[in-house]
């Protein structure tokens, strides 16, 4: 994949193009030992910012951690979703755009993501338009994607499903908005809530364990 400058013509329009087909074209274009977020954004820029968020969520659909990816993609998702909320093109730091990611680790996750999205394609259709249309709704949904990005960046990569749950939320919110599917968007909100509850349980367990250890030395 050749390195090119990200175009300022990234659009906010929805697309009816098959997500799995677009992702397949993206994967087939990745060459070499590493790839940057700048290159990925340039490859799908014309498809819109929401698609970029969906692609950035794919590596986290597996219950394993890929070093460095959650930081780069999580930060990108937050900044892009805030741009969606503000209805303007995003600004991303050069450090995030040009950080090289190992294709040997990234490609298998993207491949798995394509297989998941191809199954999701069959269920995507316009419905519950109140959750996908209107400037206010788009801004609220953009903030929900940003919240998923924040949850994704929590330093819990070694904890099972700590990246998977917010990754699913981001994927559902993004694809639901692209395809005007309010039911899928609602599912994204649900996974954000489940993630918060899951992290809360982890925090409670860690706190209880710490209290137990402290009592042993009291």
Q: What is the pLDDT of residue 66?
A: 61
Contacts with 11 (C-beta within 8 Å, 6 or more apart), sequence order: 46, 48
pLDDT tens, position by position, 121-155: 788 888 998 998 888 898 899 999 999 999 988 87
- Is residue 37 within 8 Å of 92, Cβ to Cβ? yes
pLDDT tens, position by position, 37-87: 778 777 765 456 787 788 888 888 776 666 667 778 888 889 888 888 887
Nearest alpha carbon to residue 25 among 7, 39, 43:
43
Please tell me the distance from the alpha carbon of residue 122 to that of residue 117, in angstroms, as a whole number.
9
- Is residue 36 within 8 Å of 4, Cβ to Cβ? no
pLDDT tens, position by position, 158-168: 777 888 899 99
Strand partners, 102: 34
Please tell me the distance from the alpha carbon of residue 198 to that of residue 205, in angstroms, as a whole number.
11
Please tell me the distance from the alpha carbon of residue 166 to that of residue 60, in angstroms, as a whole number.
8
Residue 6 has pLDDT above 70, yes or no: no
Q: Which residue has the tokens 């910012």?
A: 49
Does 194 or 51 have the greater pLDDT score? 194
Contacts with 72 (C-beta within 8 Å, 6 or more apart), sequence order: 37, 96, 99, 101
Mean pLDDT of the chain: 79
Q: Of all residues in the chain, what percent carry a pLDDT higher than 90?
A: 21
Q: To the nearest 10°, the Cα dihedral for 161, 57, 127, 18?
A: -130
Please tell me the distance from the alpha carbon of residue 23 to that of residue 137, in angstroms, as a whole number.
26
Residue 194 has pLDDT above 70, yes or no: yes
């Amino acid at each position: 994949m050749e390195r090119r400058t990200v175009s300022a013509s990234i659009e906010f329009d929805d697309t009816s193009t098959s997500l799995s087909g677009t992702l397949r074209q993206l994967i087939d274009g990745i060459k070499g030992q590493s790839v940057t977020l700048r290159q990925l954004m340039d490859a799908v820029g014309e498809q819109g910012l929401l698609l970029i968020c969906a692609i950035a969520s794919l590596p986290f659909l597996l219950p394993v951690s890929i070093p460095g990816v959650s930081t780069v993609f999580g930060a990108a998702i937050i900044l892009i979703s805030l741009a969606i909320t503000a209805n303007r093109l995003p600004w991303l730091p050069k450090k995030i755009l040009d950080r090289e990611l190992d294709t040997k680790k990234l490609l298998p996750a993207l491949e798995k993501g394509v297989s998941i999205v191809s199954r999701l394609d069959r269920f995507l259709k316009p419905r519950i338009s109140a959750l996908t249309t209107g400037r206010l709704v788009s801004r609220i949904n953009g903030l929900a994607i940003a919240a998923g990005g924040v949850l994704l960046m929590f330093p819990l990569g070694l904890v099972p499903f700590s990246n998977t749950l917010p990754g699913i939320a981001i994927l559902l919110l993004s694809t639901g908005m692209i395809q005007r599917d309010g039911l899928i968007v609602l599912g994204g909100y649900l996974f954000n809530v489940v993630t918060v509850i899951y992290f809360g349980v982890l925090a409670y367990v860690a706190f209880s364990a710490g209290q137990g250890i402290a009592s042993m030395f009291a």
